[in-house]
A and B are shown apart, each in its own frame.
Chain A
Amino acid sequence: MASTRKDPVLVVLQLSGANDYLNTVIPFTDPLYRDYRPNLGLPEDQIIPFTDDLAFHPSMGPVKDVWEQGKMAIIHGIGYENSSRSHFRSMDIWHTCEPDKVGTEGWLGRVIRDLDPAGENVLKGVNFGQGLPRAMALRGVPVTSVSDLASYGVLTDVPAIGGGEERERMLELFSRVYSPAIGNGPVMDYLGQTGRDALKGADIIKTAPEQYSSTVEYADNPIAKSLKSVAQVHLANLGTQIFYTQYGSFDTHFNQLPAHAKLWVDVSGAVNDFFADLREHDAADNVVMLVFTEFGRRVQDNGTGCDHGRGGVAFAIGDRVNPGMYGEYPSLKAEDLIEGDLAPGYDFRGFYSTFAERWLGLDATPIVGGKFEQLDFLPTH
């Protein structure tokens, strides 16, 4: 890469399905916690206290390490007014920053457009997962979505095509049948250009795993695999500034105790391995991770799980993060709950704005659709 300055990189990790705030960052000294969670209250001898009043879920040992290293900010009571209890609606609101209407533009789509107005790098934004999250969708902004880095590309899963040479011949043929000479009208030309760009993008991104080597051994689960792919692409210096990935389902209506524990084992381990990997390659200092979920879960458990709620918890993780806790843990008192849910005290669009403005150096107002309170977990740009 020609640039000597390291561009800031944002990695977004979405916890899909609504992560349970109360059992993630546990207000273990509050007697109301035990009252509300007769079946789901986590035993005091298993939780991991990190302040006098708060503890992490027993599965979050690696997160506690990150906290102790001073590389993590906890954002309490995040959400928005009139919070929707629908996963789809709420996730849509988080993706588009449009709480009052159905939005079409993703906030990260706008971020990517502002980072690369000419759309020169199709790898400016990369999603790991199937399909494109609405957060990255914006007409005219190319984003690359990779379901599996190892098999990404054109004609990769056609068993009839033999190995090596035959595949190479096929790709050359593909490139030629998408060449301008064969074009016939604007739509055909557009298709041709798109096909050749896709081939080129795939060629570039496929080099990432080939260049990669690391002593970090990621666990065998989907989020570890996704974050390893993020690390591989980041380390290949392809100019990607926005990474997106998700894990779930955190929708623990039933049997929450084992399910939630497994999810946090996976997430904690993967996040910790990811940053260790970057540090090993001296590539961590320009990376910050945003961890969010669409809403928290009901305060009162339902026997074996808990149902959809409101206010949740978000995290910012990275070497340049000003560590600490931001915002207030919402009150558990019955009179302060909204229909049995924690009342969100901080608007998520302020959280986004902090990343957009202080980390990426962009004007956050048009990105999140207004001015919202930013927090000091990132230094002013």
Chain B
Amino acid sequence: MLTTVAAGRVYDFSHCMGMYSTSGIGFLVPQDFALGSADTLYVLNRGVDEITMRISKCTLNHEFIADIGRAGTGDGQFVWPTSLDLDREENIYVSDENLNRITVMDKDGQFLTKWGAPGSADGELNRPSGIAFDSADNLYVVDSLNNRVQQFTKDGQFLGGWGSAGSGPGQFNQPWGICLDQQGNVYVADWKNDRVQKFSAEGEFLGQFGETPGGVGGLRRPTGVAVDSDGDVYVADWGNHEVKIYEPDGKFIASLVGDAEQPSPWVQDYINANPDVAKARRRTNMEVEWRFRRPIAVNLDAQDRLFVAEAVRHRIQIYTKERNYAEAALNL
């Protein structure tokens, strides 16, 4: 595929990053990621066991910088780390669905603080999943088993929130990912309701994505969402192994299915060092490897490049967007 053309836009596969790895270069079961300054990338890895859980810090140029954090219940440690975001100083915030807390570290991984308490009262948490900062550096937290969104100051003071259990407007069923657009509107991946809901910064319901007539563009257990500078909405359609793209008004425009035909440089090094892996790749159709498997988190950089992290492929695929694209005549 490599190029997806839709409604005046073109999405071109650019390249990918990452590989399966238990430490150092590479990722392992990524759950979320964030783009930092100076082309840095922070990838939150659930890992496959307590030894391999970590945040990988690297550059977009495939340079490994550090492994940050590890499994455990102590300060700076995680049990079920689920979402990661950066504040203005590039401090790292991580939600933990098991420990019901937010952990804060500086950009080098030095533990700063933690906050959050289990429960269902205002400001308490029951499996906090997606987190996202607004332009005032306050943190929205998806409080998934309490079926609500809560807003905190970055040191954990409760500011407000909305949501209840259900499937109506403003109601949630085990929601997961969250993001803000440039206007400060809030988008929540309403996981078990198979939709994304859009709210004003104060929680007023503005619309939803994924329930399009005729079933095209429908979502299955969406986990992550991002909005570009044009207002186009990108959803990690985890259950369908696709990324769905919608216009700002909710109209479905395209699905990306994954195009990683060119392995990442790390993967290429690994293949070069392992002749039998090279042989095994040569004897089979590799197309299945290009496709998304559990796309779980999406982000955009300042140039509106789309980054898609895949939990089961331990990588990030990167797409560029071309606007105002006019189709060539069909009868060429």
Contact = CB atoms under 8 A, between A and B. Distances in A.
Would A and B touch once assembled, by the CB under 8 A criterion? Answer: yes
Interface of A: 85, 253-255, 298, 300-304, 306-307, 339-340
Contacts of A340: 275
B269 A303 contact: yes
A358 to B, nearest CB: 38
8 contacts: A85-B276, A253-B21, A254-B23, A298-B274, A301-B273, A302-B269, A303-B25, A306-B273
A307 B274 contact: yes
Contacts of B26: 254
B23 A339 contact: no
Interface residues of B, number: 13
A281 to B, nearest CB: 36
A252 to B, nearest CB: 10
Contacts of B21: 253-254
Interface in B199-246: none
B22 A253 contact: yes
Interface in B1-41: 21-26
Contacts of B276: 85, 339
Contacts of A303: 25, 266, 269-270, 273
Nearest to A303: B269
Contact of B275 (A253, A255, A339): A339
A303 B219 CA distance: 40
Contacts of A339: 275-276
Contacts of A300: 273
Interface in B269-293: 269-270, 273-276
B274 A302 contact: yes
B274 A304 contact: no
Nearest to A300: B273
B237 to A, nearest CB: 31
B273 A302 contact: yes
A47 B269 CA distance: 27
8 smallest beta-carbon distances between A and B, as pairs:
A302-B273, A255-B24, A255-B23, A304-B24, A254-B21, A254-B23, A254-B24, A303-B269
A183 to B, nearest CB: 44
Interface in B29-88: none
A298 B269 CA distance: 14
A340 B276 CA distance: 9
A306 B266 CA distance: 14
Contact of B25 (A298, A304, A306, A307): A304
B323 to A, nearest CB: 39
Nearest to B23: A255
A340 B270 CA distance: 14
Nearest to B266: A303
A85 B280 CA distance: 14
A298 B24 contact: no
Nearest to A301: B273
A307 to B, nearest CB: 6
A109 B81 CA distance: 44
The listed residue with most A CB atoms (<10 A of its CB), out of B24, B266, B269, is B24
Contacts of A298: 273-274
Contacts of B273: 298, 300-303, 306-307
B37 to A, nearest CB: 26
Interface in B254-278: 266, 269-270, 273-276
Contacts of A301: 273
A300 B274 CA distance: 9
Nearest to A340: B275
A376 B114 CA distance: 61
A33 to B, nearest CB: 16
The listed residue with most B CB atoms (<10 A of its CB), out of A85, A255, A298, A339, is A255
Given A300-B273, A302-B270, A340-B275, 6 more contacts: A253-B21, A254-B22, A254-B23, A254-B24, A304-B24, A307-B273
Contacts of A307: 273-274
Contacts of A304: 24-25
A307 B269 CA distance: 13
A240 to B, nearest CB: 32
Contacts of B24: 254-255, 304
A255 B51 CA distance: 13
Contacts of A85: 276
A275 B25 CA distance: 39
A320 B2 CA distance: 67
A243 B26 CA distance: 39
Contacts of A306: 273
A57 to B, nearest CB: 19
A306 B22 CA distance: 13
A300 B22 CA distance: 19
Nearest to B21: A254
A262 to B, nearest CB: 12
